[in-house]
Amino acid sequence: MTADLLVRNARPMGGDPVDLVIRNGRFDTRDGVLPKEEIDATEYIALPGLVEAHTHLDKTLIGMDWYENRVGPTRNHRILADRQAKRALGIDARRQSARQILQTLPFGVLAIRSHVDVDTEIGIANIEGVLETREALRDLVDVQVVAFPQSGMLPREGTLELMDAAMRAGADIVGGIDPATIDRDPVRHIDAIFALADRHSKPIDIHLHELGELGAFCLELIIERTRALSMQGRVMVSHAYCLGMLDAARQQGLIETLVAERIAVLTVGSPAMPALPLRLMRQCGLTVASGSDGIQNTWEPWGNGDMLERAKYLAQRNGMTNDADLAETTRICTFGGAEAMGLEGYGFGEGNAGDLVLVPARALAEAVALTPSKRTVIRRGRVLVRDGALAEDLPPIA
């Protein structure tokens, strides 16, 4: 059980100051003896835990030798380079996932959904590695593991069986990837992952990079199966660039159908790919999450995993500059991600998990625009990070 805590003058999402009490790891508004430990949050904005809803914990190169990227420009070049690097560089999924989690903890990232590679060369070793890390660091962060057929599924014999093994080994979510452009057979790919999810009673999270009408067609296939299998609220589509490439009427129609089937959409706000219509998506009531995608791996050399910086990227990609819009992109990186991931007890309300990220800033928009580093991070009432530094009494890390 964690120590009780009083956070004075906290400004939830930049709003008016309130005193927040955390007892037994949960927000507690009932009267009672005031906790001994106090934090003055007057100079800070208070956020709930930042939510990283899409990353690849198993393949970051953080802390390893510099990888000279000579990879060609297509997605298939990158998938091949990635698969070769796993072998050549000996990327240890257990160690690397822990490194990324510890790098993003001081930003206030307290929940992570990670796609984890499953393929015929490594089998489910990466799934096992990330699950080990999840167990070791369970007091620091919540991790969801997606079994992810990065190299393709149906064309690579044995992969579907490995996906099944990954689910039996403890993966939480069935992944998928580009049913047309990678797997070359959209109907059979999507049928296969829905069947797998149905068999294991697990949610789905599918990478969909397909562009334009091809992407829209794949999206329709996903919608139809979500409806047929009553998987409302349990399906996420990651990237969905096609939504940024359709004419206005078709775009809005598809978004409304996604809302009706409670399918969430994840966007990282990639500067080089089509921009999703964020404002419209939120106005229609779509659940929108965001993530860092790869951090310092063979795909791309950058990324720090700060989900406040991600809120900035989302705003910049959409040409948003005013305070209200920046607040909206922050909601995507907190409440939106929590809803899409199905996190329970998330947010500032009575009885919810006592998690807080205190960011030194005068306004929420300033926190997004300047992403200050000296944050204080509280999980279940326990101070894990104080002004940017990991607390000395942190629980032991394996």
The footprint of a second copy (CB under 8 A) covers 65-66, 68-71, 73, 269-273, 275, 296, 299-302, 304, 312-313, 316-319, 321-324, 326, 362-363, 365-366, 368-370
Supply the minimum distance, in Å, between the C-beta of residue 267 and a second copy: 13
List, in order, residues 6 or more apart from 268 with CB less than 8 Å away.
54, 239, 290, 291, 292, 293, 310, 313
Supply the minimum distance, in Å, between the C-beta of residue 102 and a second copy: 16
Q: Are the beta carbons of 127 and 94 closer than 8 angstroms?
A: no
List, in order, residues 6 or more apart from 255 with CB less than 8 Å away.
243, 277, 280, 281, 284, 286
In this structure, the strands spanning 356-360 and 44-47 are antiparallel
Supply the minimum distance, in Å, between the C-beta of residue 328 and a second copy: 13
User: Which CB sits closer to a second copy, 129 or 269?
Assistant: 269
Supply the minimum distance, in Å, between the C-beta of residue 371 and a second copy: 9
User: Which CB sits closer to a second copy, 139 or 300?
Assistant: 300
Supply the minimum distance, in Å, between the C-beta of residue 81 and a second copy: 10
- The identity of residue 315, as a single letter, is A
Category of 326 on φ-ψ map: left (φ > 0), alpha (ψ -120 to 50) or beta: alpha
User: Which CB sits closer to a second copy, 319 or 396?
Assistant: 319
Q: Are the beta carbons of 282 and 320 closer than 8 angstroms?
A: no
Supply the minimum distance, in Å, between the C-beta of residue 35 and a second copy: 31
Strand locations in 151-275 (E): 173-177, 204-208, 235-239, 263-266
Supply the minimum distance, in Å, between the C-beta of residue 12 and a second copy: 18
Question: Nearest to residue 197, comparing CAs of 217, 222, 178?
Answer: 222
User: Which CB sits closer to a second copy, 324 or 398?
Assistant: 324
Supply the minimum distance, in Å, between the C-beta of residue 269 and a second copy: 8
User: Which CB sits closer to a second copy, 304 or 352?
Assistant: 304
d(CA 308, CA 372): 9
User: Which CB sits closer to a second copy, 68 or 157?
Assistant: 68
CA angle 221, 328, 338 (to 5 degrees): 60
User: Which CB sits closer to a second copy, 3 or 80?
Assistant: 80
Supply the minimum distance, in Å, between the C-beta of residue 71 and a second copy: 6
Supply the minimum distance, in Å, between the C-beta of residue 251 and a second copy: 18
d(CA 142, CA 218): 31
Supply the minimum distance, in Å, between the C-beta of residue 360 and a second copy: 12
